[in-house]
């Protein structure tokens, strides 16, 4: 270790020192000291050659600081990376600092600074700072002994894909032709960091750049066909308690003249320094967790209630969570197709709408012969026609079942069930309570040899028992038939209290011009169904309505053709569109909406014949294909289309088709071909061409098994839970494919072009977030994603945490008081407001407040950030019980020494009888008062004549008098004081009985007359 440190010390001398401006010291103050938002340190030291753009970068940061109230200091000295110095700064920006710049101690200091809450911004060559050091790999977001494999300064298009982060939200979606130094990364950081900007390198032959996800790599031929040509350019992440932002923008001096570069730089500095908040976790794969909620296999439909209950359907059953709540009587694959909950499901209308094929005529498709229980015709085995219902059921949460007898058929029709598949079935409500539900064209691909658009009208391909009137080979009789419900997106408004017989005015109404997305496609007539909102679909598997804008997301499959064909047109294509008005989406004439015209098919057994121009049987509405415009008859998808099918019962001319936004197949994503003078694509016979005969504007999409689904548009809830997906995803459109793992994406659309078929301006891969083998997607009202797979129903939740920084109130209680010191901790921000329970407010990063009581109290910190955002957090302050106040005061009183005796009446013995032996008694009382600690009561005979004896003149009683107090033993009286009682406490006027005895013997000689003696009682104190 010593050698390594010495080696580093030697290398310190090779660091280039670059200071800019009038420099006379190693650290320069380059912004007003009065800045309110703190300080930023710009470090320009590098172990390589100084980058020519460094002075421009420093000047830009200084100007941004001056304009945005933060002070900027500049240094090239590594010694500035010290604990004491960094403590002064909110963030440190390393500008083109490459190589071994910091010694071990300085590296540790910078690590401690950032992980402890500081901010770091790396620019340009800083990508190569301290390569091989683990912490710096984390700090910068790149790995590898050499983090880059090259760089070039070229003009490229830049995507600012994060529309909410302060570093990118004000910049355009796509910034055209910005010249900068763009690096190639040794290891792709996407998914490990939060990317806010990317640079496009993929382009069409005309130079138009195209977006990619920086992740998807198609192996083998697919990879060569549409390789990954996009790189992460700017990103950020939280590092410990701090924040790190890296950008490769700013590699040239001219870049700092660009508003977009300065906007990003300002947002990066302010976020890293905590002056503004931002989420740098949303696009990190590890911040999402999938939890299985139910194990129902083969889920075909999924919806969620606002409280998180998950309703899912298999072909023959309805489940809530893992609990089956209803069985449907269906036949084969013709079962349950779609689910939707009443818009007021949580407000007293517990209704579930189900689209399904009932096998029988009764409730839930049960077989019944009772006319009173028959709700519809059910399935007809003879004609191979089946009833298709949209019914409303009442859900009983307590019993976890559909209420018996609650089915109300809102809408139904008879449709071919001769072949399984291509039946559609998705459902959703808009903001006005209008119900959208989709259907498929019911056409059999085999009747068309799985090629081109399905328009084979040969009578061989008609339903048995239909008299040749219903075709399963010609989708012009269904999807393109304005008078049929098949191959459509239908829209009605269910009545609040529907009747028992379905129909307009009885169970539903037709939305008018004031409805979201305008009126339906056709007014009521004998040639068009008024319920049709959009037409020209093959098999709509998925629809979702944007809760904010009512924009419809729809996804559908198309032809089963496996490869491009010069004769017939493009291979099978999955399509998805953003729909904002009624319209026609082209099937079976066109693919991807109006983008590709199929070769018209002439009626024939075995798939139909290829139509040509100039023949009597050339279909109306076709134009010539091929380079010269004379090879075959292809439908002209640029204008209104004819419907001359013998199975058409509707209008003979239908609206011109609209484009899909996204389309893909085995030939690639958003593929296209050169066009001839008629607008017909010049198709080839391969899916994998890499020449100029094929272009792909969605290289992230490939494959597809006719199972595309849309999850709709993400909208973050107004009151999001902690696991709701972040605002980064708000407004993004989710699209996935059950059969092609390459299509698991969130698409950022341009609002100005999406209604006209515009492609995404940026895409994020969700492949590392979503479970495998998904079947459907559903964005819940709780802000999380629900999906059904072949293993059950899953909930994908966000686990990355809130935007950073955020209010971080801290406190210390003054011991023994209700006084509390508060500080804003790592809140960031530029101003601070406090409110306290019980009243009281304060401002500032550090404040002191005295609460009116101890116990649990509340304090709310509101942090105001540099962009005006206000964020509050309330904490509970636990104040220990405050002890009672104590104070001593001396109170005095003087009790004098008092010894008091009070004797009762004189004691007199009864008359003594001479010659008779006896003991005579007499009593008196003595009352004692003493203030001494210890006092003693004594009695004595102080006379000089016969002490202790009664006397009669000069004659004494022969026996001495005995004396006692209370019940104590008698003792003879004498001239010596006799102790009668001792007290060890003061005595308060205690009265005692004093007893006397005079014993007389029968031989005692007695003198007549009065015997007497005066005794002395003494109360004395024996201690102080």
Taking residues 509-526, report their average pLDDT. 96
Let me know whether 232 and 151 are in one domain. Answer: yes
**Structural contact between residues 112 and 140, judged by C-beta atoms closer than 8 angstroms:** no
Percent of the chain predicted with pLDDT > 70: 95
Beta strands in 423-558 (DSSP E): 427-429, 435-438, 488-494, 508-509, 532-535, 539-545, 552-557
Residue 778 lies in a domain: yes
- The Cα 675–Cα 691 span in angstroms is 15
Nearest to 80 by CA among 40, 27, 129: 27
Q: pTM for the complete prediction?
A: 0.85
pLDDT of the residue at 88: 97
pLDDT at 30 over 80: no
* CATH assignment at residue 159: 3.40.50.880
Residue ending a domain, among 747, 775, 800, is 800
Let me know whether 830 and 794 are in one domain. Answer: no
Taking residues 844-856, report their average pLDDT. 97
* CATH assignment at residue 855: 2.60.40.10
Beta strands in 627-670 (DSSP E): 633-635, 641-642, 653-654, 662-665, 668-669
Residue 861 lies in a domain: yes
pLDDT of the residue at 292: 95
pLDDT of the residue at 192: 97
* Domain enclosing residue 188, as ranges: 39-280
CA atoms within 13 A on the CB side of 537: 37
pLDDT of the residue at 362: 98
Q: Please give the full DSSP string across 388-437, using - where no structure is assigned.
A: EEEEEEEEETTTTEEPTT--EEEEEEEEE-SS-S-----EEE-TTSPEEE
Q: Residue 870: how many CB atoms within 10 A of its CB?
A: 12
pLDDT at 28 over 90: no
The token duo for 711 is 């999850």
pLDDT of the residue at 36: 80
Residue 52 lies in a domain: yes
Instruction: Return left, alpha or beta for 506; rule: phi > 0 is left, psi -120 to 50 is alpha, else beta.
Output: alpha
Let me know whether 290 and 270 are in one domain. Answer: no
pLDDT of the residue at 220: 59
DSSP state of 506: T
pLDDT of the residue at 579: 98
Taking residues 600-617, report their average pLDDT. 94
Read off the pLDDT of residues 624-636 as tens digits, 9 standing for 90 and up. 999 999 999 999 9
Distances (CA, A) of 657 to 522, 587, 634, 871: 15, 9, 15, 49
- Quick one: CA torsion of 376, 379, 383, 389, rounded to 10 degrees? 60
pLDDT at 26 over 50: no
Residue 69 lies in a domain: yes
pLDDT of the residue at 48: 85
Taking residues 478-489, report their average pLDDT. 98
Let me know whether 836 and 770 are in one domain. Answer: no
Taking residues 985-998, report their average pLDDT. 94
Let me know whether 112 and 253 are in one domain. Answer: yes
Residue 1004 lies in a domain: yes
Domain count, the chain: 4
How many residues are recorded in the chain? Answer: 1024
Let me know whether 861 and 939 are in one domain. Answer: no
48-58 burial, b if ≥16 CB within 10 A, otherwise e?
bebbebbbbbb
pLDDT of the residue at 8: 31
Taking residues 307-315, report their average pLDDT. 95
Residue 546 lies in a domain: no
Let me know whether 787 and 720 are in one domain. Answer: yes
Residue ending a domain, among 824, 847, 879, is 879
pLDDT at 262 over 50: yes
Read off the pLDDT of residues 683-742 as tens digits, 9 standing for 90 and up. 999 998 988 899 999 999 988 666 889 999 999 999 999 999 999 999 999 999 987 668
Cα of first residue to Cα of last residue in the chain, in angstroms, is: 83
Let me know whether 817 and 848 are in one domain. Answer: yes
Taking residues 881-906, report their average pLDDT. 90
Percent of the chain predicted with pLDDT > 90: 87
Helix (H) or strand (E) holding 923: strand 918-930
- The Cα 1007–Cα 443 span in angstroms is 160
- The Cα 190–Cα 762 span in angstroms is 14
Let me know whether 822 and 958 are in one domain. Answer: no
* CATH assignment at residue 969: 2.60.40.1090
Confidence category of residue 1021, pLDDT binned at 50, 70, 90? confident
pLDDT of the residue at 32: 32
Let me know whether 185 and 64 are in one domain. Answer: yes
Let me know whether 792 and 863 are in one domain. Answer: no
Confidence category of residue 558, pLDDT binned at 50, 70, 90? confident
Confidence category of residue 1023, pLDDT binned at 50, 70, 90? low
Residue 405 lies in a domain: no
pLDDT of the residue at 95: 98
pLDDT of the residue at 467: 84
Q: Kindly report the average pLDDT of the chain as a whole number.
A: 93
Residue ending a domain, among 280, 311, 329, is 280
Token pair 């509405």 in the structure block, residue: 621
DSSP state of 754: G
pLDDT at 2 over 50: no
Residue 464 lies in a domain: no
pLDDT of the residue at 219: 60
Token pair 């104070």 in the structure block, residue: 887
Let me know whether 844 and 766 are in one domain. Answer: no
Contacts of 959 (CB under 8 A, 6+ apart): 949, 998, 999, 1000, 1001, 1004
């Amino acid at each position: 270790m010593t050698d390594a440190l010495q080696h580093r010390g030697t290398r310190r001398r090779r660091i280039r020192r670059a200071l800019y401006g009038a420099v006379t010291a190693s650290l320069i103050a380059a912004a007003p000291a009065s800045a309110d938002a703190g300080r930023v340190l710009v470090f320009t030291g590098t172990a390589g050659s100084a980058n020519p753009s460094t002075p421009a970068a420093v000047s830009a940061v200084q100007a941004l600081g001056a304009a945005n109230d933060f002070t900027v200091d500049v240094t090239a000295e590594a010694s500035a990376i010290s604990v004491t110095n960094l403590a002064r700064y909110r963030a440190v920006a390393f500008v083109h600092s490459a190589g071994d710049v910091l010694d071990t101690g300085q590296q540790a200091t910078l690590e401690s600074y950032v992980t402890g809450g500081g901010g770091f911004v790396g620019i340009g060559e800083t990508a190569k700072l301290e390569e091989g050091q683990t912490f710096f790999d984390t700090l910068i977001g790149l790995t590898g002994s050499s983090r880059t494999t090259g760089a070039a300064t070229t003009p490229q298009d830049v995507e600012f894909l994060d529309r909410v982060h302060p570093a990118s939200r004000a910049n355009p979606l796509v910034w055209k032709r910005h010249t900068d130094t763009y690096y190639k990364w040794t290891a792709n950081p996407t998914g490990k960091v939060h990317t806010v900007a990317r640079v496009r390198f993929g382009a069409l032959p005309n130079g138009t750049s195209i977006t990619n996800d920086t992740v998807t790599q198609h192996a083998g031929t697919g990879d060569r066909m549409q390789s990954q040509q996009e790189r992460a350019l700017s990103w950020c992440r939280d590092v410990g308690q701090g924040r790190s932002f890296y950008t490769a923008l700013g590699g040239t001096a001219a870049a700092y003249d660009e508003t977009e570069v300065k906007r990003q730089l300002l947002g990066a500095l302010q976020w890293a320094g905590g002056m503004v908040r931002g989420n740098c976790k949303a696009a990190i794969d590890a911040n999402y967790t999938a939890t299985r909620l139910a194990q129902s296999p083969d889920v075909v439909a999924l919806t969620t209630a606002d409280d998180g209950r998950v309703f899912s359907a298999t072909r023959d059953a309805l489940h809530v969570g893992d609990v089956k709540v209803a069985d449907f009587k269906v036949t084969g694959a013709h079962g349950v197709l779609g689910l939707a909950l009443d818009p007021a499901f949580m407000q007293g209308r517990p209704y579930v709408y189900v689209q399904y094929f009932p096998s029988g005529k009764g409730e839930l498709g049960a077989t019944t012969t009772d006319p009173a229980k028959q709700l519809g015709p059910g399935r007809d085995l003879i004609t191979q026609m089946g009833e298709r219902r949209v019914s409303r059921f009442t859900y009983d949460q307590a019993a976890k079942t559909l209420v018996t007898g609650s089915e109300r058929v809102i809408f139904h029709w008879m449709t071919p069930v001769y072949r399984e598949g291509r039946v559609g079935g998705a459902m959703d409500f808009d903001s006005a309570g209008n119900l959208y539900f989709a259907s498929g064209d019911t056409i059999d691909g085999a009747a068309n040899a799985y090629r081109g658009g399905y328009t084979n009208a040969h009578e061989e391909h008609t339903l048995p028992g239909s008299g040749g009137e219903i075709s399963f080979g010609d989708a012009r009789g269904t999807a393109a038939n304005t008078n049929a419900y098949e191959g459509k997106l239908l829209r009605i408004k269910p009545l609040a209290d529907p009747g028992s017989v379905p129909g307009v005015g009885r169970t539903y109404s037709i939305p008018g011009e004031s409805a979201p997305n305008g009126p339906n496609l056709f007014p009521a007539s004998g040639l068009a169904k008024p319920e049709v909102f959009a037409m020209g679909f093959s098999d709509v598997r998925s629809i979702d309505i944007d809760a904010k804008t009512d924009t419809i997301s729809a996804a559908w499959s198309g032809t089963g053709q496996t490869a491009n064909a010069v004769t017939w047109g493009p291979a099978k294509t999955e399509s998805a569109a953003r729909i904002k008005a009624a319209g026609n989406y082209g099937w079976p004439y066109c693919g991807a909406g109006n983008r590709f015209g199929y070769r018209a098919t002439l009626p024939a057994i075995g798939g139909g014949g290829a139509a040509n121009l100039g023949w009597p049987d050339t279909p109306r509405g076709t134009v010539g294909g091929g380079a010269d415009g004379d090879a075959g008859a292809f439908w002209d998808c640029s204008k209104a289309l004819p419907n001359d099918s013998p199975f058409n019962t509707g209008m003979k001319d239908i609206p011109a088709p609209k484009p899909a936004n996204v389309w893909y197949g085995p030939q690639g994503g958003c593929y296209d071909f050169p066009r001839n003078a008629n607008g017909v694509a010049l198709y080839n016979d391969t899916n994998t061409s890499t020449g100029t005969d094929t272009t792909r504007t969605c290289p992230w999409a490939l494959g597809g098994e006719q199972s595309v689904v849309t999850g709709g548009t993400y909208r973050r809830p107004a009151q999001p839970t902690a696991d709701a997906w972040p605002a980064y995803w708000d407004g993004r459109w989710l699209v996935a494919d059950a059969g092609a793992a390459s299509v698991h994406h969130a698409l950022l659309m341009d609002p100005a072009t999406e209604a006209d078929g515009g492609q995404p301006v940026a895409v994020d891969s969700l492949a590392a977030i979503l479970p495998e083998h998904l079947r459907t997607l559903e964005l819940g009202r709780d802000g999380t994603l629900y999906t059904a797979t072949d293993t059950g129903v899953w909930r994908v939740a966000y686990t990355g945490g809130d935007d950073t920084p955020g209010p971080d109130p801290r406190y210390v209680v003054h011991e023994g008081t209700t006084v509390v010191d508060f500080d804003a901790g790592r809140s960031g921000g530029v101003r601070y407001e406090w409110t306290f329970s019980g009243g009281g407010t304060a401002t500032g990063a550090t404040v002191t407040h005295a609460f009116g009581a101890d116990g649990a109290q509340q304090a709310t910190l509101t942090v105001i950030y540099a962009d005006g955002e206000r964020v509050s957090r309330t904490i509970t302050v636990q104040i220990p019980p405050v002890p009672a106040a104590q104070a001593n005061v001396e109170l005095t009183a003087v009790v004098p020494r008092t010894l008091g005796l009070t004797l009762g009446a004189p004691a007199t013995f009864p008359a003594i009888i001479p010659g008779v032996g006896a003991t005579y008694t007499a009593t008196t009382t003595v009352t004692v008062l003493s203030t001494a600690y210890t006092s003693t009561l004594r009695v004595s005979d102080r006379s000089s004549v016969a002490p202790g004896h009664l006397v009669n003149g000069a004659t004494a009683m022969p026996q001495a008098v005995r004396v006692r107090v209370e019940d104590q033993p008698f003792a003879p009286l004498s001239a010596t004081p006799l102790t009668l009682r001792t007290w060890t406490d003061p005595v308060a006027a205690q009265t005692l009985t004093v007893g006397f005895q005079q014993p007389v013997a029968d031989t005692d000689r007695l003198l007549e007359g009065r015997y007497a003696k005066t005794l002395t009682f003494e109360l004395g104190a024996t201690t102080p």
